[in-house]
């Protein structure tokens, strides 16, 4: 009972903040929330995690350079959190640019189910509704938020951002495994964020360290001969976003899951190194 009261107060406070911020133009609201996250983020335990992660990836950077990257990461996270509540506006105002669509034209035209993968970079929440708008039926896994009021609100925003009812979200766990397999059997695609730790995964090298990494989706790709499409995501200085569809890669019996994941990690490393300010450093990835 007490926990529910706390959860509701937390939810009510966040909703009020979103309502107030939504009264301002999107650019101003996004800027304000980024400042708030940058300030309070430094006071959290996740700031130390982010600093440690960043130092691992950039061992030759000075403390000042590392701090600058992490502060910009907090700013990006604040914008992403706010934009989750106004996802439809991002599409309404045509703030998303795409590049490399020619790499997946045949996949779209022939309605070939594929596995699109990205990382927690820029605003990762725009990927699924964009794919949905491109005529790609896609299922995506999300992490359940402990506060059930907030979890319901966030899920509603995600579903509301979809243009069709052919795409879907499923919570991580046994249910998501079933939902994803059912979707694949119905020729639907999958979108995954593949940069977080998976305690049940395999040890795969990332930035010179072996880490527990999810590889289950590679088994699906191999079994159903699904192309793997790297989807790079960038936040631009003009308030827009750029999503880049890279050439599909294919998994086969000639290469192990861990070796294929190593190749995928090499792609991910380039994305992070080229644009470190927009990665989610606050996740305890290198523990």
Provide DSSP, 28-45.
HHHHHHHHHHHHHHTTSH
Do residues 66 and 96 both lie within one domain?
no
Q: Are 11 and 153 in contact (CB under 8 A)?
A: yes
Do residues 59 and 178 both lie within one domain?
no
Q: Would you call 233 helix, strand, or coil by DSSP?
A: strand
Do residues 74 and 155 both lie within one domain?
no
Domain assignment of residue 266, yes or no: yes
Do residues 25 and 159 both lie within one domain?
no
What is the band of 143 on the pLDDT scale with cuts at 50, 70, 90? confident
Domain assignment of residue 284, yes or no: no
Token digits of residue 163: 């243009």
Do residues 79 and 131 both lie within one domain?
no
Residue in the structure block whose two tokens are 């991002």: 90
Do residues 59 and 96 both lie within one domain?
no
Q: Give the structural domain span for 96.
A: 90-279
Reported as a single tens digit per residue, the pLDDT across 96-129 is 999 999 999 999 999 999 999 999 999 999 999 9
Do residues 99 and 167 both lie within one domain?
yes
Do residues 68 and 97 both lie within one domain?
no
What is the band of 175 on the pLDDT scale with cuts at 50, 70, 90? confident
DSSP for 256-270, please give it: -HHHHHHHHHHHHHH
Do residues 122 and 188 both lie within one domain?
yes
Q: Which of 15-19, 41-45, 59-63 has the lowest mean pLDDT?
A: 15-19
Do residues 62 and 157 both lie within one domain?
no
- CA distances (Å), origin 71, targets 20, 37, 119: 24, 9, 19
DSSP for 159-206, please give it: HHT-SSSS-EEEETTHHHHHHHHHHHHTT-EEEEE--SEEEEEEEEEE
What are φ and ψ of residue 165, in 5° steps? Answer: -105, 20
Do residues 35 and 65 both lie within one domain?
yes
Do residues 94 and 74 both lie within one domain?
no
Domain boundary among 63, 85, 107: 85
Cα separation, 119 vs 73, whole angstroms: 14
Number of domains forming the structure of the chain: 2
């Amino acid at each position: 009972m007490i926990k529910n009261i706390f959860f509701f107060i937390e939810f009510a406070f966040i909703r009020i903040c979103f309502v107030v911020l939504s009264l301002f133009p999107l650019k101003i609201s996004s800027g304000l929330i980024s400042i708030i996250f940058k300030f309070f983020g430094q006071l959290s335990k996740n700031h130390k995690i982010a600093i440690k992660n960043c130092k691992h990836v950039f061992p030759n950077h000075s403390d000042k350079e590392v701090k600058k990257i992490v502060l910009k990461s907090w700013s990006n996270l604040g914008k992403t959190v706010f934009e989750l509540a106004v996802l439809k506006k991002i599409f309404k105002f045509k703030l998303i640019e795409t590049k490399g669509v020619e790499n997946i034209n045949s996949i779209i035209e022939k309605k070939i189910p594929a596995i699109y993968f990205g990382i927690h970079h820029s605003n990762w929440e725009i990927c699924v509704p964009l794919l949905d708008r491109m005529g790609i039926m896609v299922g995506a896994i999300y992490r359940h938020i402990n506060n059930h009021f907030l979890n319901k609100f966030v899920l509603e925003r995600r579903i509301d951002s979809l243009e069709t009812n052919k795409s879907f979200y499923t919570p991580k766990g046994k249910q998501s495994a079933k939902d994803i397999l059912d979707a694949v059997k119905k020729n639907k695609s999958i979108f995954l964020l593949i940069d977080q730790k998976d305690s049940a995964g395999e040890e795969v090298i990332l930035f010179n360290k072996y880490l527990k990494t999810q590889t289950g989706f590679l088994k699906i790709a191999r079994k159903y001969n699904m192309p793997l499409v790297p989807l790079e995501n960038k936040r631009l200085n003009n308030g827009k976003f750029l999503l880049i569809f890279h050439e599909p890669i294919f998994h086969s019996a000639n290469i192990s899951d861990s070796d294929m994941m190593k190749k995928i990690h090499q792609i991910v490393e380039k994305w992070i190194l080229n644009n470190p300010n927009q990665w989610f450093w606050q996740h305890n990835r290198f523990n």
